[in-house]
Structure 1
Amino acid sequence: MSEAGTEGNLDDSSENRSGDGTGERPEDRPGGATGFERGTDGPKVILVGVDGSDTSWRAAAYAAGLARRQGSLLAVVYVQPTLAAAAALGAPVAGTTAEVAEELVAEIRRAVAQLRGLFEVRWEFHTLHGDAYTGLVQAAQDLKADAVIVGASEQAGHRLVGSVAVRLVKAGRWPVTVVP
């Protein structure tokens, strides 16, 4: 049995010293033995895709909390879908789609502002047009995102064909978190 006060102490021999004349162990210095400082090694930009669905709101709340804890910029991205096939057949979708999108963008902006008030994070809002997967990939590349967060698809058909979340994970370019 060891003497009181010595159990669990590290050996103070010179083998544990840095050898640079300071007498300190590397892990005792700022940055430690691993070369990074606490609070500086997390993601700088967290991208979250929103589309107005319940799962995308949960993803946004999760991303906002993560951005707050990590001190990251939260990039909220909405990709407005285009209905190219319907437009090609002569259906008047441009005006309708734009009107619906404007309402949804306004709703998303209000919700994001509420999240910002709750979580006090730095954030940006981006609206893109086109396919959700392509838009999120482009935004993640342009913003140099360190992580991408999306909500799980609520559409049953995506279990067979694959959702945006599954496609992002398979792309393997960033860590992707899928929020249920």
Structure 2
Amino acid sequence: MAGSDNLAAVAQHSHQFERGTDGPKVILAGVDGSESSFRAAAYASGLARRQHALLALVYVQPVATAGAAFGAPVAQVTDEVAEDLIAEIRKSTERSRGVFDVRWEFHTFRGDPYNGLVTAADELKADAVVVGASEQAGHRIVGSVAVRLVKAGRWPVTVVP
């Protein structure tokens, strides 16, 4: 009977990631314009292509309340970053059209990167999350978004260097 208890525990734990399909349906990649985020998007694109999954590219627009308090056009700047990202993604998609066709969507969320990606993954029902490794030195001490996503343990997370 101990074997069947272990099997039930494994089935219950693995059910956490299973959405009743063969393979992932949605692979989420966080993009912020950094080189590592573009590498993560490229890696996620390959995964999505091979798995016939939807690639959800997500940019989390930071909410800089301090800048807004001083009259800085924070929303306008982050909107411009989002527009630049979508233009770059469309350009890359056009270059690879016919060779690597991938279904993809671009989404923006507002907030801090970790909570924005968590919200995006929940709302989009992501089966996997792909992010780039942090390029900021301070994250070695505080902890990067990637590390926090892995520790959350809610989705398989791939961190691309």
Q: Do both proteins adopt the same fold according to a TM-score greater than 0.5, normalized to the shorter chain? A: yes
Matched, 1:132 2:119: no
Q: Which sections of structure 1, spanning at least 5 residues, go unmatched?
A: 1-39
Instruction: State the shift of 1:91 in Å.
Output: 3.8
**TM-score, length-normalised on structure 1?**
0.69
Which of 160, 169, 172 is the aligned partner of 2:153? 172
Q: Do the aligned residues in 1 keep the contact of 2:45 with 2:102 (CA within 8 Å)?
A: yes
d(CA) in 1 for partners of 2:138, 2:41: 23
Structure ranking higher on relative contact order (CA contacts 8 Å, 6+ apart): 2
- Say if 1:129 and 1:135, in contact at 8 Å, map to a contact too: yes
Counterpart CA distance in 1 for 2:143 and 2:104 is: 29
Find the residue that maps to 2:136 and give its secondary structure: coil
State the 1:108 CA deviation: 3.8
1:111 aligns to what? 92
Distance (whole Å) between structure 2 residues aligned to residue 117 and residue 78 of structure 1: 26
Aligned match of 1:65: 46
Structure 2 gaps, min length 5: 1-20
Q: Helix, strand or coil: the match of 1:52?
A: coil
Deviation at 1:118, TM superposition (A): 4.5
- Equivalent residue number for residue 77 of structure 1: 58
1:85 CA displacement: 1.9
TM-score (norm 2): 0.77
Which structure dedicates a bigger proportion of its chain to helix?
2
- CA distance in 1 between counterparts of 2:158 and 2:97 reads 20
8 Å contact kept, 2:59–2:82: no
Task: Answer with 1 or 2: which has the greater Rg.
Answer: 1
1:98 matched residue in structure 2: 79
Q: Distance in 2 between matches of 1:44 and 1:157?
A: 34
SS at match of 1:76: strand
Q: Return the offset for 1:103.
A: 2.9
What's the CA shift string for 1:84-141, capped at 9, x where partnerless?
A: 1221244443444433443344334433554665421111111122211111111110
Q: Do the aligned partners of residues 113 and 159 (structure 1) sit closer, same or farther apart at CA in structure 2, a change above 3 Å counting?
A: farther
Q: Contact conserved, 1:50 with 1:76, CA < 8 A, in 2?
A: yes
Tell me the number of residue pairs that the alignment of Structure 1 and Structure 2 aligns.
141
Question: Is the partner of 2:84 in helix, strand or coil?
Answer: helix
- Cα gap change, 1:168/1:71 in structure 2, threshold over 3 Å: closer, same or farther? same
Identity %: 75
Aligned 8 A contact 1:64 1:116 in 2 = no
